[in-house]
């Protein structure tokens, strides 16, 4: 059966760091609370548009597969923080890197990368696509509200990307399981970033979240998704070699692993360094896990995600023979001499940061 095999990977995490201590200097929080409740120590704040981060991660992924954008039949960017309503972030990536394949953004919030992988796999199985770039890229710092300590400490910016190609071999996406419960739209939302705000200027452009409800649903739903996906692949939970979960909260990741009875040693996490980067979190974690040797040839890699919608999804990927990059490229983006806190100034009028 024709399916999508991952043959390239890359990531871009902005250089400007925002630590818990930085946040505690401007809002009523502290390092101990953030670390113990979420596992986050610091996050990155972007000095460039989301599409630049997406392009940087894509450039690495293409080099890693030794391919160019002209080889791609499809570019999907999973994001809920696009530069503009039109064009898509994917179109910007193509503008920078070239090619004439299809481009589209996909918004399934933090589940976007797993959704994107599944959509590309479906198009590969149908024979309409041979090679695709799937990118998760988010600039959630644009939506941070430093007057809301329950959300401001959780999110960060970044991008991760993979290149997939059609394979008839054992490697590739064995199964995926995607869901959404639309009755839960209001427990995780960003109100003022859509057309609503054109008509109502009072709508705040910030994350609004019922943390405990999201937490409860996340653990249950990611667990259910993983069980169905692994069964549909004709495998068992104990066959999972590496679990890469959406990095939203270390307690959610640990609880999901416990629910699935998965050995903690198989769980890859990097939430301490980047916070919750939404659709970017799984491809960043995947790229780092590969570069750190945490994935071996033939491994069964389980990816599980949940996010606003409430969406959730799971994907079971059989890794191929290659776990090292064919080529490496340096990022071409300009650096910044600003700190994460300074970059947040635009969002923090009245809080003494400008």
Q: Active-site residue numbers?
A: 110, 246, 276
For residues 135 and 112, give the distance between their C-alpha atoms in angstroms, rounded to a whole number: 9
- Residues 107 and 111: their CA atoms lie apart, in Å, by 8
Give the gyration radius of the chain's Cα atoms. Answer: 19
Yes or no: say if 174 and 129 are a contact pair by the CB < 8 Å rule. no
**Of 188 and 303, CB closest to ligand UT7:** 188
* Contact (CB, 8 A) for 7 and 317: no
CB atoms under 10 Å from CB of 212, counted, come to 10
For residue 167, give every residue at least 6 positions away whose Cβ sits within 8 Å of its Cβ, in sequence order, or none: 2, 3, 4, 5, 320
- Helix, strand, coil shares of the chain as percentages rounded to 5? 40, 25, 35
- Site residues (CB under 6 A) for ligand UT7? 29, 33-34, 37-38, 110, 149-150, 153, 188, 209, 211-212, 214-215, 218, 248-249, 276, 307
Q: What is the DSSP letter of 165?
A: E
Is the N-terminal amide bond of 310 cis, ω within 30° of 0?
yes
Alpha helices, DSSP H only, in the chain? 20-24, 31-38, 50-65, 89-97, 112-126, 149-152, 196-199, 211-232, 250-259, 271-274, 281-291, 340-343
């Amino acid at each position: 059966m024709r399916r999508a095999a991952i043959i390239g990977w890359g990531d871009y995490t902005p250089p400007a760091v925002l630590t818990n201590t930085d946040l505690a200097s401007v809002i009523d929080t502290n390092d101990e609370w953030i670390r113990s409740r979420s596992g986050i120590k610091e996050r990155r704040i972007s000095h460039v548009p989301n599409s630049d981060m997406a392009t940087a991660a894509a450039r690495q992924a293409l080099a890693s597969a030794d391919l160019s954008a002209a080889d791609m039949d499809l570019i999907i960017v999973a994001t809920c923080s696009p530069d503009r309503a039109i064009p898509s972030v994917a179109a910007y990536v193509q503008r920078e890197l070239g090619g004439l394949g299809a481009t589209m953004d996909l918004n399934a919030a933090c589940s976007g990368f797993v959704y994107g992988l599944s959509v590309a796999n479906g198009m590969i199985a149908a024979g309409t696509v041979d090679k695709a770039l799937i990118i998760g890229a988010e600039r959630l710092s644009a939506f941070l509200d430093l007057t809301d300590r329950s959300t401001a400490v959780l999110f960060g910016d970044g991008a991760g990307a993979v290149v997939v190609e059609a394979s008839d071999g054992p490697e590739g996406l064995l199964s995926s399981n995607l869901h959404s419960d639309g009755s839960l739209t209001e427990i995780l939302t960003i109100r003022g970033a859509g057309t609503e705000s054109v008509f109502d200027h009072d709508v705040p452009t910030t994350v609004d979240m019922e943390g405990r409800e999201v937490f409860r649903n996340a653990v249950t739903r990611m667990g259910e998704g993983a069980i169905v996906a692994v069964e549909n692949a004709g495998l068992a939970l104990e066959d999972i070699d590496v679990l890469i979960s959406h990095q939203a909260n270390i307690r959610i990741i640990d609880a999901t692993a416990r629910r699935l009875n998965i050995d903690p040693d198989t769980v890859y996490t990097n939430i301490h360094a980047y916070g919750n980067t939404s659709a970017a979190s799984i491809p960043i974690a995947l790229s780092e896990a590969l570069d750190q040797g945490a994935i071996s040839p033939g491994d069964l890699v389980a990816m599980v995600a949940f996010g606003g919608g409430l969406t959730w999804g799971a994907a079971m990927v059989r890794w191929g023979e290659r776990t090292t990059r064919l080529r490496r490229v340096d990022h071409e983006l300009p650096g910044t001499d600003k700190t994460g806190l300074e970059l947040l100034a635009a969002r923090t009028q009245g809080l003494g940061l400008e």
